[in-house]
Amino acid sequence: MAARSLLDKVWEAHTVRELDNGETQLFVGLHLIHEVTSPQAFAMLEEMDLPVRFPSRTVATVDHIIPTHSRARPLQDALAEEMMQALEENCARSGIRLLEPGSGRQGIVHVVGPELGFTQPGMTIACGDSHTSTHGAFGAVAVGIGTSQVRDVLATQCILMARPQLRRIEVQGSLGPGTYAKDVILAIIRRLGVKGGVGFAYEYAGDVIDAMSMEERLTVCNMSIEAGARCGYVNPDVTTVDYLRGREEVPRGEAFDTAARDWLELSSDPEARYDDRVELSGADIAPSVSWGINPGQNLGVDEQLPRVAEFPDDEQPSVEEAYGYMGLQPGAAIAGTPIDVAFIGSCTNGRISDLREAARVAQQGSVASGVRALVVPGSEAVARQAEEEGLPEVFRQAGFEWREPGCSMCLAMNPDKLVGREFCASSSNRNFKGRQGSPTGRTLLMSPAMVAAAALQGAVRDVREVL
Amino acid sequence: MAEPIEQVEGRGCVLRGDDIDTDRIIPARYLRCVTFEDVGEHAFEDDREQAKGDHPLDQESAEGAEILVVGRNFGCGSSREHAPQALMRRGFRAFVGGSFAEIFLGNCTALGLPCATLEAGDLARVMDAVEADPDQILTLDLATRTLQCRAGRFKVGMKPGARDQLLEGSWHATRVLLEAGEAIEACASRLPYV
């Protein structure tokens, strides 16, 4: 048999049929839903008088709208409460599992899927959320979908999708100190651009990716969509298998060993065909910070902000727009940019290893005066683990607020928002205009450790100076 | 089946700029809803507020425009279908641009809204022409893959699957997917984990 990539293997296994127009009807092995993009889908289903076809293959959580202060019901925001109730009713009526707040299993959909073991190698995964690419860290083909497609999955457990092209991205060598998975994906997006991945799936490989923990790989795959790629994945290996062993939703005993053997065979064959290949050197990657209004507009913390003329002609209007919005000066250093808010959390960087790294920095000082700093764990399980390790105390002593789990200030659908033109050092994934809840708010994306360093300094700082 | 969409004819509105994300099209605070009914009123709300009347959607000529002419990577970011829903509810029935983000394009197709791409030079000509004469009628023809306006007739690109679904009226995908019948269960039963 011809050499195949993981994408080939997973795609073929889940192909229900191929349509004449080039689209594939793909079976969705795991469907994740949340309160924002699903209520309309259930309503459409009802209008069509169709039942949920495979209720056991859908899992629900609540994350976007949940407050991180008090989660007492009814929620203070009546609109949020209405969405929460709609999700509860839809799940109850259709026999769909809901990871309820307080159950110990609630959290951001892309944090709980992996940590509970719902996410497994070789699956196709869909969710009405663009950061579904996160789950590719396990060697799954995981894509974000819109609400009409959520309806399709509820009704048929399938989506229509054209097979993407495949780009292999190898990050070789090793990373320097203070440089994290977040910096790796920011460097990849800086190199390939925010539209470079449109039509592609990204396969991440090379020494640096091989050496990463599962949580680090989740961070990398999470931001595939910021590169324009609807999905990104890492081939399953021993790290993957070790992470999954013993997780709640994973087979046990002999069944696990059988599954693990299958998982390892899913990895791309050495002779697999790629539509494109790119190589980066880990040693060239520095702790990074975004300076503009899309995640590709980022640079090493020790660099100067690029001049407009350094960009190709057709990109210059976007660069000028970014500088206009951000109020930053080309040629100036990014280090030293004062911040008003520090946010640690999100589906990109709200896991236990992220909080540990941030706490390591936070314990060296206290939050600068005038800076509002919050830590929002990605899930109840992450919060529990952090509590066992005493992390909330470390953060509180340094002057950070320790909150309840949710998406929080990544997209500010709950009460956590920037005000006015505040600058936020953020471990989240998007620095779009207005993303963090203030129409004029400004986001500086960076790793959790860099956010902690910025919180203490009151300004962007090279984390390598404090580690 | 849904209604086949062979042609979209109407006045254009030009929205310049690349990488316009779905947070800008519909800010997240307006996603706090369980229906799409009211999202149209909030399309580009923050951008429009900041443009103080200068935003293309706030020009008199944008009233009743049906084809939105955009730059590259339009609709990047969040998968929120609220974005094309908001633009559709404001009256747009097609998008012509440099390129489109993948999930946005899929969402548009699911709503029967064609997304067509133009080469950079052609896009610049169309944008200039529509801005100079906003009253002209643009015709996007899916069958011939062309966009006709006073500046000329231009070849457009379309994702083959999306174009076929629109032309055939099979863009409401649920019905198409259901046609597979028991083949869905058969596929599921072959998967080791289901």
Q: What is the CATH number of the domain that holds A313?
A: 3.30.499.10
Per-residue pLDDT at A225 exceeds 90:
yes
Q: Is A269 on the interface with B (CB under 8 A)?
A: no
CA distances from A311 to A290, A319, A442 (A): 16, 8, 22
Nearest to A82 among B34, B46, B190 (CB): B34
A295 and A220 within one domain: no
Section A206-231 average pLDDT: 98
Distance from CA of A158 to the nearest CA of B (A): 7
Kindly state the tokens that stand for B95.
Answer: 């998008």
Kindly state the tokens that stand for B52.
Answer: 């103080």
Per-residue pLDDT at A353 exceeds 90:
yes
pLDDT score recorded for residue B29: 96
CA B89 to chain centre: 12
Q: Is residue A230, in this structure, part of any structural domain at all?
A: yes
Distance from CA of B91 to the nearest CA of A (A): 19
In chain B, the number of structural domains is: 1
Q: Is residue B2, in this structure, part of any structural domain at all?
A: no
Section A2-24 average pLDDT: 97
ipTM: 0.97
Which range of residues forms the domain containing residue B36?
Answer: 7-190
Section A319-342 average pLDDT: 98
CA of A15: which chain B residue's CA is closest? B187
| Percent of chain B's residues with pLDDT above 90 | 99
E-assigned strands of chain B? 7-15, 67-70, 94-97, 115-117, 137-141, 146-149, 152-155
A376 and A323 within one domain: yes
Residue contact A198–B27, C-beta within 8 A: no
CA distance linking residue B137 with residue B144, whole number of Å: 17
CA distance linking residue A417 with residue A458, whole number of Å: 18
Tens digits of per-residue pLDDT, B129-156? 999 999 999 999 999 999 999 999 999 9
Distance from CA of B24 to the nearest CA of A (A): 7
Distance from CA of A387 to the nearest CA of B (A): 31
- Which chain B residues are Cβ-neighbours of A433 within 8 angstroms? 21, 23-24, 46-47
Q: Is residue A140, in this structure, part of any structural domain at all?
A: yes
Residues ≥6 apart with Cβ < 8 Å to B77: A130, A225, A430, A432, B21, B22, B23, B101
pLDDT score recorded for residue B103: 98
Q: Is A432 on the interface with B (CB under 8 A)?
A: yes
Q: Is residue A146, in this structure, part of any structural domain at all?
A: yes
Kindly state the tokens that stand for A213.
Answer: 């923990």
- Which chain B residues are Cβ-neighbours of A321 within 8 angstroms? 17
CA of A151: which chain B residue's CA is closest? B174
Tens digits of per-residue pLDDT, B14-66? 999 999 999 999 999 999 999 999 999 999 999 999 999 999 999 999 999 99
CB B84 within 8 Å of CB B107? yes
Q: Is residue B1, in this structure, part of any structural domain at all?
A: no
Chains A–B, number of C-beta pairs less than 8 Å apart: 203
| Percent of chain A's residues with pLDDT above 90 | 100
Tens digits of per-residue pLDDT, A329-339? 999 999 999 99
pLDDT band at A1 (very low <50, low <70, confident <90, very high): confident
In chain A, the number of structural domains is: 2
pLDDT score recorded for residue A461: 98
CA distance linking residue A400 with residue A246, whole number of Å: 33
Q: Is residue A278, in this structure, part of any structural domain at all?
A: no
Sheet holding A200-205, edge to edge: A231-234, A200-205, A165-172, A276-281
| φ and ψ of B78, to 5 deg | -55, 150
Asked if the bond preceding A74 is cis, omega within 30° of 0, the reply is yes
Q: Is A195 on the interface with B (CB under 8 A)?
A: yes
Q: Is residue A329, in this structure, part of any structural domain at all?
A: yes
- Which chain A residues are Cβ-neighbours of B191 within 8 angstroms? 13-14, 27, 29
A375 and A228 within one domain: no
What is the rounded average pLDDT for all residues in chain B? Answer: 97
Section A71-83 average pLDDT: 96
CB A236 within 8 Å of CB A123? no
Report helix angle A214-222 to A352-362, nearest 10: 100
Which range of residues forms the domain containing residue A434?
Answer: 288-465
CA distance linking residue A257 with residue B148, whole number of Å: 61
Residue B3, class by beta-carbon neighbours within 10 Å (0-12 exposed, 13-18 middle, 19+ buried)?
exposed
CB B90 within 8 Å of CB B58? no
Per-residue pLDDT at A308 exceeds 90:
yes
What is the H or E stretch that residue A99 is in?
strand A97-99
Report helix angle B160-168 to B102-110, nearest 10: 10
CA distances from A403 to A71, A74, A350, A452, B87 (A): 11, 19, 12, 16, 36
pLDDT band at B1 (very low <50, low <70, confident <90, very high): low
A294 and A252 within one domain: no
Residues ≥6 apart with Cβ < 8 Å to A467: A177, A178, A360, A361, A449
Q: Is residue A27, in this structure, part of any structural domain at all?
A: yes
Residue A20, class by beta-carbon neighbours within 10 Å (0-12 exposed, 13-18 middle, 19+ buried)?
exposed
**Per-window interface: A 288-317 vs B, CB < 8 A:** 293-294, 314-315, 317
CB A136 within 8 Å of CB A231? yes
Q: Is residue A195, in this structure, part of any structural domain at all?
A: yes
Residues ≥6 apart with Cβ < 8 Å to B53: none
Q: Is A416 on the interface with B (CB under 8 A)?
A: no
Kindly state the tokens that stand for A284.
Answer: 């060239």
CA dihedral B48, A324, A448, A248 (to 10 degrees): 30
